[in-house]
Chains A and B, each alone.
Chain A
Amino acid sequence: MTDLVQVRRGAYRDSVTLMRVSRRIAGRPDVADAMAAMGTPLNRAVFERMGFAVPPDAGPADLVVALRGDGPLDDARHALAELLDERAQAHDGGFGEAPPPRTVAAAAARGDASLALLSVPGPHVFPEAMDALAAGLNVMIFSDNVPLEQEIALKDAAAARGLIVLGPDCGTAVVGGAGLGFANAVRPGPVGIVAASGTGAQQVMCLLDAAGTGVGTVLGVGGRDLSPQVSGRSTLSALAALDADPATELIVVVAKPPAPPVAALIREAARRLDTPVVFALPLPGADDLTGATAAALRRLGRPVPRWPRRARPQPPGGALRGLFAGGTLCAEAELVAGAVPGGHGHRMTDFGDDAYTRGRAHPMIDPTLRLAALADAAADPGCGVVLLDVVLGYGADPDPAASLAPALAAARAARPDLALVVSLCGAAGDPQGLDRQGAALHEAGAAVFASNAEAARYAAALAAGRSGDEGEDG
């Protein structure tokens, strides 16, 4: 073993630098022990314990370097000198940006947010939602599977703070001109929508847009808000907010039919408002979504147009198979088709149901399952009519026709007797391009309707063996 001890008089390095240098040199294969330190009494004691002989005149202002190794230590000494004289390097990253926040609380602390949009798994929603409410933010919960008692607790906490919880399982909202979740780019206007059903709200807003009437606000309240347990907590709060909003001239409430006591509660609350309220609660015998939209237009004193369609005569006959992405659109089609006499029966499937979305994206984003079902229907000789919905807007598939149009064309090619009917829910301003989507689906062989109810009625009539008039060009 060779020892090498050097003293650099008056050369100061801070202790951290010296400890780093020592560690790097000690890690060299040709070095057994190394230490570089200022010659303080404490460090001198450490040198001595390591067995190095430090010159007695080396003091606290002197840099002491000690090396021990088997062979010549020239390389190590050279490396040590380089490390000691290394200059600080500038770093490109500056002082470092703040990393992204890990909680809504931390995000809220950074700035003036007004709303938190939550889509984490349902069992994990509660802490983030409480963060938002505590920070004075409204909350939209896109996630489903939030326990019922948590939904109630969150809605009560929101009410106590003068805030609202949209959802859980709220797919759609439009506030302050921004579409949240799955929302269509409709023109701004006098109608406010309170929706316990996401695609139901989208249908109404798109039809209003087609009629030239804008929508100012859409507040989704979640599918359970009108349940007996939740008892319309968010619906009531949304109604009050829209009533107070000077830009809202008419309120449309869109929901699956609620339990009677809750329906009575909501209707009573609506009666007390200054703003007129139109209900779109699809029930047998009541207005469907298209009918409710027409009622809203009449209430505003505006004309009800003939709803846009791209007609294409379809072959009648055979059973009706409905393949839906939108739950409310599916339910509405079921009701409408059920009211059409005759036919070979119908079967409607909601591919947005939990049973189909576990471990997979919503069919408004991922078309895989519906495309497979379309191929199955075409291969089934008993199936004579296929009815599909296509929902456009923010958050949805950026080009649904890109996959669906070829699939429709293939089905038609394989089964010239198969009727193809599409309910296309979209607004002219949607990023997918309403015209382009409609044209592509029509080109592929489908009759395309803006009104879901009209599409369902036409499809059911085809299944009943009538060609109907709704397939004709208007």
Chain B
Amino acid sequence: MADRLGGLLAREPRVIAVGADVLADALADQAVPVRTVDWRPPPPGTEDALNAVLGRAGHAEANATAVGRMLSARPHLVDVRPAWEVLSLEPGAFLHAGPPLTWERASGPMRGALIGAMLLEGLAHTPEDAEQALARGDAVFEPCHHHHTVGPMAGVVSPSMWMLVVRDEEHGGTACCSLNEGLGKVLRYGAYGPEVIERLRWMDAVLGPALRDAVRAHGPLDLLSLMAQALQMGDELHNRNRAATSLLLRELAPDLAGGPHAAEVLRFVGGNDHFFLNAAMAAAKACADAARDVPGASLVVAMARNGTDFGIQVSGTGDRWFTGPAGVPDGLYLGSYGPADANPDIGDSAITETAGAGGFALAAAPAIVRFVGGEVPDAVAATHRMYEITLAEHPALRIPLLSFRGTPAGIDVTRVVRTGVLPVIDTGIAGRVAGTGQVGAGLVEPPARVFTDALAALAADP
């Protein structure tokens, strides 16, 4: 049997060496192909949990199953419907970004968005009334993620808002995301002035129904294939959605054109480079949800921030959140704003990174890397780094600059802990004072402890 031990005795070995250089050098001296690993010890105290999780029978198979489900999902935009209808969201109930949160711990932009949502729903007449009502506990709010939903930045969803409805045609799951309002003074960045509410009312009255009619007329729209095209046109589908928005508009325009407010709607969508972000998020959410609840899997299925806490959920630990303090992004600021004006990281949009886009696809979007003072090689390096902590390469999202290698996809908690490499997340930056709006954009990392905590929970799981 010549292939016993993988042909070890029959062929010259090709060696991966990790540890003492002298051993790798000795191989190189014999002209044996050797690849060295830039190994470093994991954080002290994590060894036992790592060994327990990695040594458990079926762990690798569980991860393969989970990431396989995530990457085989086929998210399609199938409908656009109001939240009260599609999510059964009652008056006085709201969804928000990130892990669970109380009003007391809510940051400025989160409070601002909730105030705006109260005004939009007619539950308060002034911001002051809204704030008092929220402080009294008159409204209920829960994480979007608990309702198969995601929301960018504050991610506040109220019953009257229209939602993109995405169905995973492979596994049958459904995910929702609200409609993107554009940039500047917008609810998701915590602004709630009259122009914000007015725009939202227009979206409720005109944009939502128009998109519903167009999507229904068009039929299910394959989002992953659109995203794959956009990635090759310079989008990373989180901070840059210019190509994807254009492609979406091109796809829907014939079905939008016949509507009563066609020009208005086309102008609004076409004038907002981020319009597609919310569709990308819903698609990513549908993919990530397909990978949930695989026993023993250490695959991350959600990364989300509420402006106070950064939280992750992991396939093998159900709905449990592992949280730590949200960091302040490193980036560029609008006008005279600076880091002192920035709110800690906020939004469910890191679902794009969870599914292999966004910061993980930076190498596909050289146009945006200079947000962090970087150059094109830095973008490539960021993507390369993410391969260290991911389980797979995305079969559809491929990066031209890397010879069409698939994006790094499927974050493995054990790999994050072992390597110390944290996921890189593209993000907008909200002003810390309620009502300010966007102050910049940049990159952010999760707190390392969410991964060590998740690892400990996986290890403790019988």
Residues of A within 8 A of B (CB): 14, 16-17, 19-20, 22-23, 26, 33, 35, 37, 41-42, 45-47, 49-50, 91, 93-96, 98-121, 123-124, 126-128, 130, 132, 134, 136-138, 142-143, 150, 153, 162-164, 175-181, 183, 185, 216-217, 237, 240-242, 244-245, 247-248, 365, 394-395, 431
Is B37 within 8 A of A100, CB to CB? yes
Is A130 within 8 A of B55, CB to CB? yes
Is A91 within 8 A of B22, CB to CB? no
Collect the chain B residues with CB atoms within 8 Å of residue A101's CB. Answer: 35, 37-38, 388
CA distance A137 to B385 in the complex (A): 23
* Contacts A134-B60, A394-B26; A126 near B5 (Cβ below 8 A): no
Beyond A42-B183, A181-B26, list 5 extra A-B contacts (CB 8 Å).
A113-B16, A116-B18, A119-B23, A180-B27, A394-B29
Number of chain B residues close to chain A: CB under 8 A: 72
* Contact of B42 with A by CB under 8 A: yes
Chain B minimum-CB-distance residue to A240: B4
Is B15 within 8 A of A117, CB to CB? yes
Is A46 within 8 A of B35, CB to CB? no
Is A178 within 8 A of B16, CB to CB? no
CA distance A269 to B415 in the complex (A): 40
B345 to chain A minimum Cβ distance, whole angstroms, is 19
Interface of B is mostly: mixed
Chain B minimum-CB-distance residue to A110: B35
CA distance A371 to B440 in the complex (A): 65
Is A127 within 8 A of B54, CB to CB? yes
* Contacts A164-B5, A395-B22; A94 near B377 (Cβ below 8 A): yes
CA distance A42 to B184 in the complex (A): 6
Is B20 within 8 A of A137, CB to CB? no
Chain B minimum-CB-distance residue to A89: B375
A432 to chain B minimum Cβ distance, whole angstroms, is 12
Collect the chain A residues with CB atoms within 8 Å of residue B4's CB. Answer: 162, 240-241, 244-245
**Could you list 23 examples of A-B contacts with CB < 8 Å?**
A35-B336, A49-B335, A50-B335, A91-B376, A103-B415, A103-B418, A106-B387, A109-B387, A111-B14, A111-B35, A114-B7, A116-B18, A117-B27, A119-B20, A127-B42, A127-B414, A142-B19, A162-B4, A162-B6, A175-B13, A177-B12, A178-B32, A183-B26
Is B380 within 8 A of A96, CB to CB? yes
Collect the chain B residues with CB atoms within 8 Å of residue A94's CB. Answer: 377
Is B23 within 8 A of A137, CB to CB? no
Collect the chain A residues with CB atoms within 8 Å of residue B433's CB. Answer: none
A225 to chain B minimum Cβ distance, whole angstroms, is 16
CA distance A163 to B38 in the complex (A): 25
Collect the chain B residues with CB atoms within 8 Å of residue A143's CB. Answer: 19
Tally A-B pairs: CB < 8 A.
231
Residues in B182-217 with C-beta less than 8 Å from chain A: 183-185
* Residue from the set A16, A164, A216, A242 with the largest chain B CB neighbour count within 10 Å: A16
B50 to chain A minimum Cβ distance, whole angstroms, is 5
Residues in B108-157 with C-beta less than 8 Å from chain A: none
Collect the chain B residues with CB atoms within 8 Å of residue A237's CB. Answer: 5
Please tell me which one of the listed residues B5, B376, B381 contacts residue A99 in the complex, with CB atoms under 8 A apart. Answer: B381
* Residue from the set B8, B17, B414, B440 with the largest chain A CB neighbour count within 10 Å: B8
Chain A minimum-CB-distance residue to B419: A102
Contact with A along B32-71 (1 / 0, CB 8 A): 1011111111100001001100110000100000000000
* Of B160-168, B224-232, B243-251, B366-374, the one touching chain A: B366-374
Is B14 within 8 A of A114, CB to CB? yes
Is B332 within 8 A of A23, CB to CB? yes
Is A175 within 8 A of B377, CB to CB? no
Is B5 within 8 A of A19, CB to CB? no
* Contact of B340 with A by CB under 8 A: no
Is A176 within 8 A of B10, CB to CB? yes
* Contact of B334 with A by CB under 8 A: yes
* Contacts A99-B381, A102-B40, A104-B18; A124 near B47 (Cβ below 8 A): yes
Please tell me which one of the listed residues B32, B185, B384, B388 contacts residue A103 in the complex, with CB atoms under 8 A apart. Answer: B388
* Contacts A46-B335, A138-B8, A365-B22; A120 near B39 (Cβ below 8 A): yes
Collect the chain A residues with CB atoms within 8 Å of residue B16's CB. Answer: 104, 107-108, 113, 115-117, 132, 137
CA distance A49 to B376 in the complex (A): 33
Please tell me which one of the listed residues A124, A180, A394 contacts residue B13 in the complex, with CB atoms under 8 A apart. Answer: A180
Please tell me which one of the listed residues B22, B30, B332, B378 contacts residue A19 in the complex, with CB atoms under 8 A apart. Answer: B332
A45 to chain B minimum Cβ distance, whole angstroms, is 7
Is B18 within 8 A of A117, CB to CB? yes
Chain A minimum-CB-distance residue to B370: A16
Collect the chain B residues with CB atoms within 8 Å of residue A19's CB. Answer: 332-334, 371, 440
CA distance A325 to B343 in the complex (A): 61
CA distance A216 to B368 in the complex (A): 56
Collect the chain B residues with CB atoms within 8 Å of residue A117's CB. Answer: 15-19, 23-24, 27, 34
Is B377 within 8 A of A91, CB to CB? yes
CA distance A183 to B42 in the complex (A): 31
Contact with A along B315-347 (1 / 0, CB 8 A): 000000000000000001111100000000000
Collect the chain A residues with CB atoms within 8 Å of residue B257's CB. Answer: none
Is A176 within 8 A of B18, CB to CB? no
A15 to chain B minimum Cβ distance, whole angstroms, is 9
Is B14 within 8 A of A162, CB to CB? no
Is A91 within 8 A of B375, CB to CB? yes
Is A102 within 8 A of B388, CB to CB? yes
Chain B minimum-CB-distance residue to A109: B387
Collect the chain A residues with CB atoms within 8 Å of residue B41's CB. Answer: 120-121, 124
Collect the chain A residues with CB atoms within 8 Å of residue B375's CB. Answer: 91
* Contacts A19-B334, A127-B414, A150-B51; A114 near B419 (Cβ below 8 A): no
CA distance A305 to B116 in the complex (A): 95
Is A118 within 8 A of B19, CB to CB? yes
